[in-house]
Structure 1
Amino acid sequence: MKISHGNLRFLAFVLYLFQILRHNQLMIEIVPLPLQRRKARASLSNAAGRFDMARAAVDDGWGSLEDSGDAAVPIKIETDIRMEQARTLISYNKSPDLPFDRSINTYRGCEHGCIYCFARPSHAYLGLSPGLDFETRLIARPNAAEVLRRELSQPRYKVAPMAIGTNTDPYQPCERDLGLTRACLEVLRDFSHPVAIVTKGTLVERDIDVLAALATRGLVRVGVSVTTLDPDLSRRMEPRAPSPARRLATIRRLSDAGIPVRIMTSPIVPGLTDHELEALLAAGAEAGADAASWIMLRLPREVSELWQEWLAEHVPLRAEKVMARLREMHGGRDYDPRWGLRMRGEGPYAEVIANRFKAACKRLGLIQKSPVLRCDLFTKPAQVGDQLALF
């Protein structure tokens, strides 16, 4: 095959860009931002993602940067929400670690800013940083409900429980104004489709009317994540999430409305929150939760470095112990992604946590495996132009 000089020049240029990208990814220097410029943000840095070139702040002559001593940093860190027209919404998985095979996410990124969030690396696929970008540069899908309705209406669609909140929180602050999660819930209600929700957001209370209607037919369960009962620690780890006490109040309100709810003591942080396990479960049971679950802290890809930066600033005297415990459960690594091990680790410490959890649930009457949601009620509502049934 004959290759023209133009094609050769193009290939050489692509190779040159690849070498630059590879070099920059290896040479990225993470410069922590000053604390006063990170108010209510968990990440200390905003390093380029693994698919992005290294970035540097540039002074545009309009006072957009200021000298912090070691590096020039942005004056403000505000939340930016951009709109994305989704072409598809339902994501499918075959993970043996998950109790569901499909999920929907109305937002990319999460303003709650939990420093330990395992979803942070997904922002790198967008050319954004898993650090501060994940907390401050969000993407919303305004046509989510429309796309969901279309996908559920496909002739080949087969019903199974839908998970919401598996990557980023469906009830983060921007949902108050955009209402994308509620719109999707209304579609699922119209189709009598089973749904499981995971959240830290108290805004879920706004949708109690829809959730209660689903609950009366065995079509919904809600999981509320409470990581710690210490409000100071929570504010530092999860800077824009509701306080632990407020999340427990949400469990109570959902339970009082007849909506099945479980307390999720996730993630358990060894050497930092593990001593609270029994107290967390007791608080959840007192608030009305009927079930419970737990997951050990996970540090995939960029999360490990972000987490260790956070430890060094907020709990430096415990940092070594926390990481030692995690590595002990993952064969000396910060994280082991293998099926069956990534959620809880292995070894003596992991077994102790599992036994403590099991014993506490038994004592408190909390179930560990929730009842199966009903799938037999699924129906496709009539659309404009459909022929109506006679009976």
Structure 2
Amino acid sequence: MILEVHGDVCRLGYLKVVACLLEDGVPRSPDYLSSLLLETSKTAENDAVEQLGLLRTEVNATNYVKLASELGFYDKSTGGLGPFGAAYICMNSASHLKKHITGEDTALLSRILALGESEKILLLHALLSKDFHMISNILLWAAKTREFTRQQAMEVIMEEIYPEALRRVAKKLTDRRRQLVLKELESAARFREERLGYSKVEWIRSRLYAKYRHTVPPRLEWLSDLGLLDKPRRGKYMVSKILMKNFRELEIVLNKPVERLDQSFFSYFVQSVLPLRSAGRQVEAQFLTEAYRVLSKAVHKVRLDVLCLATAYRMIDAGYRSTPATVSQTFSYLSFLYSDRVFANYSEDGSPEVSGLDIELSEMNE
């Protein structure tokens, strides 16, 4: 669960820029990455309509880099790509942004902010992976309510959904972090009572109102970017036709244990949203090899789970059906078939890493 969000980080498209800035494999501190993000965004052709969350200042850039870290696009511990950022740079959708960063072309700001269908899937996956208890329950409430104002959403989310999310998170934490969450939960239990104690003028000037505004509106805007909420007018939201059309499948995912998110997300939701065609093992092996070549230049160590995630999204972006689980099976097949050229070992934390995948595509077609 993302415990702290800044109210200005409303546009998910900037996370794509963060990922592409890290593709060269050079570790970058949060401050340096923030400066690069601001500079890169300013050099885009500004054709976007005025909207919440446009990146204009160093503070904005710092907050977006923090969000990128929270959502797995940036790994502060290594200064490089997080798993979802690694998946994004392996998608062909990223090519226009890469050209903008290298100076080969100038991107339109509207195109940076807009999300393609496969990009929306990736970002929803990231949100559910990192902020499951908030995003899942906001979606369930929105689908039931259908239409609501921002103020209504702030009250329901902060006074009902947020405390429940804290309770669920606290159950899985230990020691100091658990105590911090329990302390926040104690405060959250009094939010409604405290809000009702203010006059209207006092309320919008209060620190609690600021907390409501930092926590809720960005999440509503993220869901709007993903095409799951529509904004018929300022301060008003309604569920989109896309959400209602695919809600049955999404509801299955949201009601599964968070530990089974990856499996259920690909098995139920992705298959229903996108018109994907089947791919044989050779096709999957080809995409796996291509993804490895991208990642081997972008990250110091290629974790197998990240490679499988990146390959699955590279295939989805190209219109093929895939999941990290099926990619993992294909990797096992290749390691058996080409044991002298496919290498994997274990990192210090026990996770599998791929240290070699030296196969020519022509060999797989023989």
TM-score by length of 1: 0.25
Higher relative contact order (CA 8 A, sep 6+): 2
Q: Which is richer in helix? A: 2
Computing the radius of gyration from Cα coordinates, the structure with the larger value is 1
TM-score by length of 2: 0.26
Q: Which is richer in strand? A: 1
